[in-house]
Structure 1
C-alpha cells in the first residue's frame, strides 16, 4: 500500500528545556494533525534576558500521512 505524506513547519517554545519544547510542539500538532509519523528538529534557539536563558525554542518539521479520503 502506498501513502503520501506532507511536511509542515511549526515553532514551539518552553520555559524549561529543548526537550520540553519538542514535546509541547508535538502534543499541540497532534491536536490538529492526524497521522503524524515523525519530526525533525530543524533549528533550536535559546532566548536570553540579562545574561540568562529565559526560554528554549525549536523549529520542527513535522511529517504526517495524508488521509486517503476513506478509500
Structure 2
C-alpha cells in the first residue's frame, strides 16, 4: 500500500524525498484481513530554477 501510494504520487510529482504514515486502516471479514489502506504524506524538493 505504501509503495502504491508513493508510486502514484511520483506520476505527477518529482523530486520525492520522504514519506510519513499517518494512518493505517483495515477491514476484517470472517476473522481475516480483507483489505487495508494507509494514509500518508509525501515530501518533495522544489526545483531550484522555479
Shorter-normalised TM range: 0.7 to 0.9
Segments of structure 1 that go 5 or more residues without pairing to the other structure are 1-20
CA distance in 2, matches of 1:49, 1:32: 34
TM-score (norm 2): 0.80
TM-score (norm 1): 0.60
Segments of structure 2 that go 5 or more residues without pairing to the other structure are none
Cα RMSD for the two superposed structures: 1.6
CA distance in 2, matches of 1:42, 1:67: 26
